[in-house]
């Protein structure tokens, strides 16, 4: 999902402001959605892509488990990406990993249109999109023990201390993710905010069903995650970027 953009974040930043229950219960009180509402204008090219490619590549939200084989026309490893922003990283990873199927969840229409435009331009067939709140997608469309991987890149850091409770990566949300992973499936997070990286490491390390692939620290950036132009600019300015890769036991 999309966050209110800041100079320190790239086009893949996805606000994921979320507090969810475990894999079976939905929070009934003080529910927080996985995105921050943000106005955005759909460009002519994005609108054209929505009209041309949406019917094939956009999967309507439905309160029932998604039939991945039917949606993709094949059986392949399944990766969920939460909040793909403008879709550049999603398209690049999908292009490099054509044996895997990627379901991207994004609420903001300009980003959906931008990814569909890339899908059409590059002839990608292993991406599908759900334009809906990621928490509800996880709870209702993703079956238990069905995912091979989850990607969450540069979620909204909610950098003010009083807003940290709004961050996406919280224990209950991680428990929900874990319930949707197959044994051996992975969660890959990335952030350019050190305080959030520390929180991510603490939360994921405390989940008994997860194992840190990097021992007790952060992981090297996997080759499949490209460095965006904004990330590269930040690195040149001395900003840090932290990747975390955990696997379900």
- The set of catalytic residues is 156
Residues 6+ apart with CB under 8 A from 55: none
Element of type H or E holding 245: strand 242-248
192 assigned binding-site residue: yes
Tell me the torsion sign for CA atoms 106, 98, 189, 179. Answer: positive
198 assigned binding-site residue: no
10 assigned binding-site residue: no
173 assigned binding-site residue: no
231 assigned binding-site residue: yes
229 assigned binding-site residue: yes
Q: Is 238 left (phi over 0), alpha (psi -120 to 50) or beta?
A: left
6 assigned binding-site residue: no
Give the up-direction half-sphere exposure of residue 62: CA atoms within 13 A in the CB hemisphere: 9
230 assigned binding-site residue: yes
CA distances from 128 to 19, 40, 146 (A): 25, 22, 16
Cα end-to-end span (Å), the chain: 27
Binding residues for substrate: 160, 192, 228-231
Which residues line the annotated binding site?
81, 106, 133, 156, 160, 192, 228-231
């Amino acid at each position: 999902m999309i966050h209110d953009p800041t100079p320190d974040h790239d086009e893949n930043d996805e606000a994921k402001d979320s507090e969810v229950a475990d894999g079976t219960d939905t929070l009934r009180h003080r529910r927080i959605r996985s995105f921050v509402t943000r106005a955005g204008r759909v460009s002519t090219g994005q609108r054209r892509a929505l009209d041309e490619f949406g019917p094939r590549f956009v999967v309507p939200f439905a309160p029932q488990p998604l039939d991945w084989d039917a949606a993709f026309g094949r059986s392949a490893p399944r990766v969920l990406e939460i909040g793909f922003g403008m879709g550049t990283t999603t398209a690049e990873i999908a292009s490099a990993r054509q044996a895997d199927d990627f379901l991207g969840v994004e609420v903001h229409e300009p980003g959906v249109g931008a990814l569909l435009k890339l899908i059409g331009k590059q002839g990608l067939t292993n991406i599908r999109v759900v334009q809906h709140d990621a928490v509800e997608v996880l709870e209702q469309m993703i079956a238990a023990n069905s995912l091979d991987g989850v990607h969450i890149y540069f979620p909204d850091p909610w950098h003010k201390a009083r807003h940290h409770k709004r961050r996406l990566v919280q224990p209950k949300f991680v428990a929900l993710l874990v319930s949707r992973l197959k044994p051996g499936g992975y969660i890959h997070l990335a952030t350019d905010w050190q305080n959030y990286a520390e929180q991510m490491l603490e939360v994921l390390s405390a989940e008994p069903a997860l194992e840190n692939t990097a021992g007790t620290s952060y992981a090297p950036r996997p080759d499949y995650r490209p460095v965006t132009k904004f990330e590269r600019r930040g690195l040149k300015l001395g900003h840090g970027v932290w990747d975390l890769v955990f696997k379900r036991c």
